[in-house]
Every structure is written in C-alpha cells, then in structure tokens.
Structure 1
Amino acid sequence: MMIILVRHGEATHHTQRLTGGWTDSQLTEKGRAQIKAAAVKLAKDFAGRNCKLRILASDLQRASASAQIIAEELGFKGEIEHCRFLREKNNGIAAGMTEEEAKKHFCKPASEQELDHRNYPGGETRNEFYRRNVHGLWHRADVDKENLLIVAHKGTIQNIIFRWLGMDMQQVAAFNFSVDVQPASVTVLGINKWHEHAVFRLNDVSHLTQGKGFGVFEFKYEK
C-alpha cells in the first residue's frame, strides 16, 4: 500500500496576499502548470500498472481542481472523493480577508507551542485541526491497506505525516518538529518490508526544478 500526498499548486490567495486557511481561492495559471507537471510525472509511475487507487481531495477549489488535473492525467476512472475534513486549518473570520485586514483580528499565542489557542475568532486550535484531519482520514480509509492519493494543503499534509510517524500534537510541539510542504510537492508514505511506517519521499518538487539545484537557499529559514 501507499499514500501519495500532493499539495495543491499556487493559488490566488498567494498572489493576491489573502489569508489562506478556509479562503476558497483558485489555482493560478502557474499553479495549474505546477500540478500538471506533477501529474505527468505521476502518470509515468502508474503507466502499465493495474493499481487500485482512491483519490481523496479537500473540497476547497484549489485542491479539488488540482485533484481533477491529476485524475485526468492518470486516466482515473473512479470518482474523486471531496472531503471537508481535508481542508486547511480553519482561520475563522479571517477567511477571505487580505493579510493586512486579518492582522486586526489576529490573537497572538503566548508561545509557538500553544495547542489550544485560536488565532482568529471562529477558527480552530492546532489540536482541533489535527484531530479533524486525522480522525477524518483514518475513519474514511484503511490507511494501512489501501492505495490513496490525497490532494490537500500544507497543514493538512503535515498533520497526516505527523500521525503516520506516530506523533500527536503534544509530541510535535515538545520536539519543536515540522516538515516543509511546498506547493505542488509530492510526498509518498507506505509500509516497508520490515512492516514499518516509512516516508519514502518527502516534499519532492523535482518536477518543478529541472536544470536547477536543490533549492537550498529557497527555504524559509529563521532570520
């Protein structure tokens, strides 16, 4: 079995300086091209294989459109399962606002390790977000036995990876742990021959960087 995690491509909230979260932004032309490149490369993996696969996607437009592009490239004959539980973290009243507007409503946590703090009125805490993603997916699918392709968001994919590695949010906070998940990146999880939960590929954007380096200087390092 395998779980393929794909983050949606660049979306209009990135280019229009809107908040992310539950803002229902759409893919930009660049974002569609990014996902098309990922889909073409994934299609090479699936070519000639009779692989039973389910495709699950967040119901927000930027993710559902990304899933449709991938499904078409793979020649997927089933139905894409649009799942509200795969949405990004709920940012409450900040959804749809510009980043400047949202700053007026932002409630700063006492520390970055806060798990039950709401950044915006009506939004989710980190614990609530994690539980929604994890409980939803583990209830919807047999993650240890099915082949799944999941198209979602940075935070959602991070939560799935944390759970796959056996970590709850308390452990994530205690270890100050994270993984980067860039737009249109591909991550592959699976159970290896030693019956371990493995991360076979993480945040792969090689389909976007032909002829370039590893992007060592493009990550969001602490200043």
Structure 2
Amino acid sequence: MTITRRLFVVAHPESRHHVEGRVGGWYDSELTERGLRQADAIAAELRRRIPASTSAEVFSSDLRRTWSTAEAIAKSLGAVASALPGLREKSYGVAEGREQSWLDERFVFPPVPEAPFDHGLRLDHVEGIDGAETRREAGARVYAAMDSVLARPATEQVVVTHGFAHSFVVGRWLELPLEAMGRATFAATSGCITELNEDDVFGNRTLRSLAAVYHLGDL
C-alpha cells in the first residue's frame, strides 16, 4: 500500500503571548527566541520525514507566529510558503492581546448537549466577548481554507496553524461535517506535528500521529 498524499499539520511554537499570559487569537504576536529555535527543530524534522526528491507545498496562517514558522519550514524543504488567512486562530474579538485573566473572568462556557448529536448549540454558542468568532464561524473559515489546500494535486503538504484551528484542519482532512465539530477536538500543543495520510488502495484518510513533540527535545 502506497501513501498518495501526506499532510503535516504544525501548531506554531512558543509565542510572546504565551509567555506574557495574553490572549492570542488574531493578536499578532511574534515567536520568542525559544520559539524560533523550536521552529528550526520543526523544520529539521519535516526535512527528515519528507523525501528530498519530492516537491512539498507549505501553507500558513498569515499571522507572524505562524508565518515565521512556515518560513523556516519552507527554507528547509526548498519550498515557498503561501499565506492563507483562513488558517488563522479563532478570533477572540476585544479580548485579543489582553491579559488572559481578563478573558477568563468574562468567558461564558458552552453548554453540554443534552441530546445525541445536538452540537449546534456549541457551534453557535456566543462566549460573551464582543467581536469573538463562534466555533462555527471559525470552523467554516478553516474548512474553506483547507478546501483550497486539498484541491491541489500535491503528494506532500504542510499546513502551519494554531492550537484551536488545528482541530478543524484535522476534521476537514477526515471529512467530518462541520456539524460534527461542535464537540470534536484533536488537541494540539505548541510546536507539535500531526501527520495525516491517504492511501492508494482504499483512498482512506488516516490520522497517523497526533500532536507529536518529540522533535523539540529539551527546547
């Protein structure tokens, strides 16, 4: 059985909003010095896993913390990174850039569905923060961006995104309907790599490894 396509999903490494305890979302923070070293480690790991004889495509959220990561990866792979704003993190509206405690004090948690598959309540839940996206709005945006990535006839692709958006990238790969993403989560950590495969026999799309961070070592 041959793998006809591999998609590597990268969650950006340590950013300034992480260490400063600030809300991320569309807040355009940069990678820390540690995050830059982690980006190089991610790039080296992807170079190890993607054959040098294969042309790889790199797509990224346009925010600085993801774009810096994507540039390091693209340089290592001899590729050119392409920015897709649709791969941005969920927007937290007026909370972005504020101290995390400010958001925590105002955040309204989504309900737990009482009936099976009643996920619309969570997808459309309003968190009490002006200007914040709902889960549905963020998910639809990421799904649309992934449609453009998956429409390309590439065999090796890299998508650089954010922790919340990571779930929707994986969900779109697995062809989960957006309605199923009210509760579905594929947890990510900073600097992780998720590998997704498609085979040439059944055309199955597989979640081969989720949120691996071994390549970061002690960084």
- Could you say whether these structures have the same fold, taking a TM-score greater than 0.5 normalized by the shorter chain as the test? yes
1:66-99 alpha-carbon deviations (Å, 9 max, x no partner): 11111222232x3x21111000001111111111
2:195 corresponds in structure 1 to 188
SS in 2 for 1:170: helix
Amino acid at match of 1:53: A
What residue is the counterpart of 1:99 in the other structure?
A: 100
CA contact (8 A) 1:105 1:121 kept: no
Q: Which among 8, 13, 18 is matched to residue 12 of structure 2?
A: 8
> 1:199 aligned to 207, 215, 218, which one?
207
CA RMSD of aligned residues (A): 2.1
| More divergent stretch after superposition (102-111 vs 87-96) | 102-111
Which stretch shows the higher mean deviation, 196-205 or 60-69?
196-205
Query: Are 2:123 and 2:181, in contact at CA under 8 Å, matched by a contact in 1?
Result: no
Structure 1 residue 30: deviation in Å? 1.4
Is the contact between residue 10 and residue 183 of structure 1 (CA under 8 Å) also seen in structure 2? Answer: yes
Residue type at the aligned position of 2:197: G
Deviation at 1:13, TM superposition (A): 0.8
Structure 2 partner of 1:28: 32
For these two proteins, the number of residue pairs brought into alignment is 205
Q: Which residue of 1 aligns with 2:185?
A: 178
Percent identity over the alignment? 27
Quick check: 1:62 aligned with 2:65?
yes
CA distance, structure 2, for counterparts of residue 107 and residue 164 of structure 1: 30
Deviation digits for residues 112-163 of structure 1 (CA, Å, limit 9, x no counterpart): 8511123221111111111100012203541675532111111212101112
Flag structure 1 segments of 5+ consecutive residues without an equivalent: 211-223
Residue type of the partner of 2:36? Answer: R
Q: In the alignment, does 2:128 pair up with 1:125?
A: no
State the TM-score, normalized to the length of structure 2: 0.84
- Distance of 2:17 and 2:92 partners within structure 1: 13
Stretch moving more, 126-135 or 34-43: 34-43
Amino acid across the alignment from 2:214:
S
Q: Taking structure 1 as the reference length, what is the TM-score of the superposition?
A: 0.83
DSSP 3-state at the match of 1:4: strand
Aligned AA (2:110): P
